[in-house]
Amino acid sequence: MAGHNFLFVPGPSNVPNRIQRAMMVPMEDHRSPKFPELTLAVISGLKKIFRTQKGTPIIFPSSGTGCWEAALTNCLNPGDTVLASRFGQFSHLWVDMCERLGFKVQLIEVEWGEGAPPDLYQAALGADKEHKIKAVLVCQNETATGVASDVNAIRRAMDAVKHPALLFVDAVSGLGCIDFRMDDWNVDVCVSGSQKGLMLPAGMGITCVSEKALAARQNATQPRCYFDYLDMVKNNAQGYFPYTPSIPMLYGLKEALAVIEEEGLDNILARHTYLANGVRAAVQKGWGLQLCAKDAKWYSDAVSAIVVPEGFNAAQVIERAYKRYNLSLGAGLSKVAGKVFRIGHLGDLNELMLMGAIAGAEMAMLDMGIPVKAGSGVAAASEYWRNNQPKVAA
């Protein structure tokens, strides 16, 4: 097929050419005297992305899911209770993992399309006078529904009732796209991965742990081995890894950090908001459709889940877009399968790339008989982008 595939799933995201090129390297000895230069450079670069001085970034050769497991097995004791909310496939999967590892989950069920409710977290923590809850879990950007939650509000809820639990945040699809502040929000473990905002292939679990989390690791007795923070921290301090790291991925990460540094993290976050606003204009003003996110305060600047009208199957729109227009849209997962398709707007993107996704989604919807006005999505996005600029937060 001529031309290239338009990749608009919310991860893996587009890998910029210069990052791909940086990964084309011969293999080398990961125990050489020179190797620490690379390790130490990427670890210190990651601190800026997590906005931390006190925290310790750790890179596991896994995907983001491995870092979910690392958080649970390093910081908790067998059978401990965690407090979590569920409002989409990813928040669900983390809860499912907790249960499969034998932890008790005190669950806050939230309608899909809404986010983590600080008031309900505070009520649950306030009622836990014996401090049985050892960790509080929050999914910052629920990629399945396009919902972003206010992590700092959850931290304030914990502080309001002086609860000592650890705060674990899933920022797999948020890091590098949506504001995240490890130190300011006193996050204990931030879980992320390489293939979303960091513009790399999948294959690296990227996490950051607080001093409190590392202290918890000293006494926590849940079995762990491959994902032990301490093996990593000890080796990383010398610039090495406890086992063979993926060398191309480390060079790719170094380049990705350079790309981020050049644009500036604040500018990147502002660009994500600006691009997301254009997509939302296409969906709402142009097509007259609804987002899965129920309220503007939940809108994600990394991904939009678009609800197709009653009587239509979103899976057919996605299939049509792929087969006819070589456009990859994100599928509806689990509860929202067939009801939504998703446009990922995270990572290395600009207006005209997104115009391709908007035009293609519109063509596929028209082909499936969905009554949107031809050209309306592109017109609304164009109107927004022509008249606005990214606004960098002060």
Residues that bind ligand PLP (CB under 6 A): 11, 63-65, 90, 139, 141, 143, 170, 172-173, 193, 202
Q: Which residues pair with 208 in a beta bridge?
A: 57, 190
Give the shortest CB-95-to-ligand PLP separation in angstroms: 12
For residues 63 and 304, which CB has a smaller minimum distance to ligand PLP in the complex?
63
Q: Residue 170: name the closest of 261, 61, 74, 92 by CA.
A: 92
Give the shortest CB-97-to-ligand PLP separation in angstroms: 10
Cis peptide preceding 248, ω within 30 of 0: no
C-alpha to C-alpha distance for 134 and 137, rounded to whole angstroms: 10
For residues 139 and 154, which CB has a smaller minimum distance to ligand PLP in the complex?
139
C-alpha to C-alpha distance for 150 and 2, rounded to whole angstroms: 43
Q: Scanning the structure block, which residue is given the tokens 């958080």?
A: 71
For residues 11 and 286, which CB has a smaller minimum distance to ligand PLP in the complex?
11
Residues 6 or more apart from 299 whose CB is under 8 A from it?
A: 146, 147, 148, 276, 280, 291, 293
DSSP 313-325: -HHHHHHHHHHHH
C-alpha 225: how far from its chain's center? 25
**Cα angle 174-175-179, degrees, rounded to a multiple of 5:** 80
Give the shortest CB-37-to-ligand PLP separation in angstroms: 27
Give the shortest CB-102-to-ligand PLP separation in angstroms: 21
Give the shortest CB-306-to-ligand PLP separation in angstroms: 17
Give the shortest CB-196-to-ligand PLP separation in angstroms: 6
For residues 276 and 370, which CB has a smaller minimum distance to ligand PLP in the complex?
276
For residues 172 and 187, which CB has a smaller minimum distance to ligand PLP in the complex?
172
For residues 133 and 148, which CB has a smaller minimum distance to ligand PLP in the complex?
148
CA distances to 42, 99, 178 from 257, rounded to whole Å, are 8, 35, 16
Give the shortest CB-64-to-ligand PLP separation in angstroms: 3
For residues 35 and 87, which CB has a smaller minimum distance to ligand PLP in the complex?
87
DSSP 279-320: HHHIIIIIS--EESS-SGGGB-SSEEEEEPPTT--HHHHHHH
Give the shortest CB-393-to-ligand PLP separation in angstroms: 23
For residues 11 and 176, which CB has a smaller minimum distance to ligand PLP in the complex?
11
21 token code pair? 């090129």
For residues 142 and 362, which CB has a smaller minimum distance to ligand PLP in the complex?
142
For residues 120 and 202, which CB has a smaller minimum distance to ligand PLP in the complex?
202
Alpha helix ranges (H) inside 113-222? 118-127, 151-160, 211-219
Give the shortest CB-4-to-ligand PLP separation in angstroms: 23
C-alpha 150: how far from its chain's center? 14
Q: Scanning the structure block, which residue is given the tokens 């309001």?
A: 160
Strand, helix or coil for residue 370 = coil
Strand, helix or coil for residue 125 = helix
How much helix, strand and coil, in percent to the nearest 5, is found in the chain? 45, 15, 40
C-alpha 262: how far from its chain's center? 21
126 token code pair? 């306030």
Give the shortest CB-169-to-ligand PLP separation in angstroms: 10
DSSP 214-242: HHHHHH--S--STT-HHHHHHHHHTT--S
